[in-house]
């Protein structure tokens, strides 16, 4: 998998927002807010090929969480990212 580089993260009123980029414009009707951990994953993986195990490793390395919980959270993050076309 790889993060869709057509999407751009902007900080709006303290929130990290991913906006859909189109041909010369931004679609403000489709935005996704990223919390702190989602943003950390996004930044760590941007521009890199990755798989579920990479997401789990980032979570276990940076948070006090066991591998089982990290895997469940990683699966949920990836599902949301795929649903919003943020991961290819």
Whether pLDDT at 78 is above 90: yes
Beta strands in 43-82 (DSSP E): none
Structure tokens at 33: 């807010």
Top pLDDT among 64 and 6 is at 64
The tens digit of pLDDT for each residue in 6-55 reads: 888 999 999 999 876 665 655 556 788 999 999 999 999 999 999 999 99
Residue 11: what pLDDT?
Answer: 93
Q: In this structure, how many other beta carbons lie within 10 angstroms of the beta carbon of residue 20?
A: 19
Domain segments of the chain: what residues? 8-83
What confidence category does residue 81 fall into, taking pLDDT thresholds of 50, 70 and 90? very high
Q: Using CA atoms, how far apart are residues 13 and 1, in angstroms rounded to an integer? A: 30
């Amino acid at each position: 998998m790889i993060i869709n580089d057509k999407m751009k993260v902007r900080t709006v009123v303290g929130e990290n927002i991913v906006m859909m980029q189109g041909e010369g414009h931004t679609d403000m009707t489709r935005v996704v807010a990223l919390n702190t951990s989602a943003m950390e994953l996004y930044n760590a993986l941007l521009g890199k090929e990755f798989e579920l195990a990479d997401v789990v490793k980032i979570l276990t390395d940076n948070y006090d969480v066991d591998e089982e919980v990290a895997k469940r959270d990683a699966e949920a993050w990836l599902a949301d990212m795929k649903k919003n076309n943020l991961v290819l």
